[in-house]
Amino acid sequence: MAGRALAVSPSAISVSINPQNPASYENVTISLSSYAANLGTVNISWIVNGKSVLSGIGKSSFQVTAGASGTETRIIAKIFLPDGEIDKNIIIRPAELVLLFEATDSYLPPFYKGKALPTEGSEIKVVALPEIKIGGSLASPKTLTYEWKKDYENSPGDSGYGRSFLVYSNDYLDEASNISVVASTIDGKYSSGGNINIGSYQPQIAFYKKDGELGTLWEKALPNPYRITGEEIIVAVPYFISPADIRRPELAFRWFINNLMLPPKIVEKNVIPLRVEGGVSGVSKLRLEIENTDKIFESASKEINIEF
């Protein structure tokens, strides 16, 4: 082959890797294609870390399992064309990347251990946690470059050096958004990627009892029906409603007893005192409706029966 030009240029044979940024021990499919040669009629050999593992006519696709994070799998695809041989070299460097998200403007009660879930129109923060090993050491996330995409479209304004998080507002019209990112070293030699689908959740109201000495009893929400005797104070908790400060005036709280709306409260809008007259028994329907007057799709309601 020395001193002889190939009819097919090496650049005319393309290599695709799926997934492009594999995780540890993930199956990786490598495919060859060409606009200048019929690869289905030529012999192709695949060599992995110096060992021949597959050979035959038209073997233009090959699957290999990536190694552990920080390792390299070196692959050579030898294409035997009628006028000579072309080698394509591929290196698989698996790495890990985790995406975490939470709503930045959703209400959560004190001591809640879960994360704030987004509702329609929420502001959402997505954080990338890459784990790229170089020579046995982890690369600092602050020294990596990040390429973010939202719904499969590049987001250049959020991408760049050290940009390990993305902040966006979800759309009222979309059921979910797909967020993806590729984190790479400066030289592009090492990278890891991930994607996540983030949907919208409906705000949920839970009722709790407020004790005169212990305060709100967070460990257990009130069942339906709920029996009271004498006087009790009920606290409503609108999980994940926006904004996070439920004292804001755009959050309208409307309390109803047996479909009769009570006078609006200016302070402690989420608290309602109940009192049972002596010698009276029965069932009353307690309902709360919450609406964000600035967001037409932001609302929640809850109803329980109060036995006395």
- CATH code, domain with 215: 2.60.40.10
Last residue of a domain, one of 199, 233, 252: 199
Indicate whether 4 belongs to any domain: no
86 within a domain of the structure (yes/no)? yes
For residue 81, what are the domain limits? 10-92
255 and 165 inside one domain: no
In a domain, 5, yes or no: no
Considering the domain boundaries, does residue 2 fall inside one? no
Residues 179 and 208 in one domain: no
* 12 phi and psi angles, rounded to 5 deg: -80, -5
Q: Which residue has the tokens 């409906």?
A: 202
What is the four-CA torsion angle of 246, 247, 253, 257, rounded to 10 degrees? 100
In a domain, 178, yes or no: yes
Same domain, 87 and 106: no
Whether 17 and 57 share a structural domain? yes
242 shares its domain with 281: yes
Give dist(CA 183, CA 93) in Å, integer.
13
Same domain for 141 and 47: no
Are 208 and 262 members of one domain?
A: yes
216 & 180 share domain: no
Last residue of a domain, one of 199, 214, 237: 199
Burial tier of 240 (Cβ tally within 10 Å: 0-12, 13-18, 19+)? buried
Inside any domain, residue 3: no
Q: Based on the fold, state whether residues 172 and 248 are members of the same structural domain.
A: no
Contact 48, 75 (CB under 8 A): yes
Nearest to 193 by CA among 123, 153, 146: 146
Domain annotation covers residue 1: no
Same domain (yes/no): 155, 215? no
Say if residue 264 is preceded by a cis peptide, omega within 30 of 0.
no
Query: How many domains, in total, are found in the chain?
Result: 3
Q: Give the whole-angstrom CA distance, residue 183 versus residue 203.
A: 33
Last residue of a domain, one of 184, 199, 214: 199
Are residues 123 and 177 located together in one domain of the fold? yes
Q: From first to last of its 308 residues, what are the pLDDT tens digits of the chain?
A: 444 556 778 888 999 999 999 999 999 999 999 998 999 999 999 999 999 999 999 999 999 999 998 899 999 999 999 989 999 999 999 999 999 999 999 999 988 888 999 988 889 999 999 999 987 789 999 999 999 999 999 999 999 999 999 999 987 777 889 999 999 999 999 999 999 999 988 999 999 999 888 999 998 999 999 999 889 999 999 999 999 899 999 999 999 999 999 998 878 999 999 988 877 788 999 999 999 998 877 899 999 999 98
What is this structure's pTM? 0.81
**Torsion angle of the four alpha carbons 213, 217, 223, 227, in this order, in degrees rounded to the nearest 10:** 0
173 in a structural domain: yes
My answer on whether 252 and 208 are in the same domain is yes
Predicted pLDDT at 1: 43
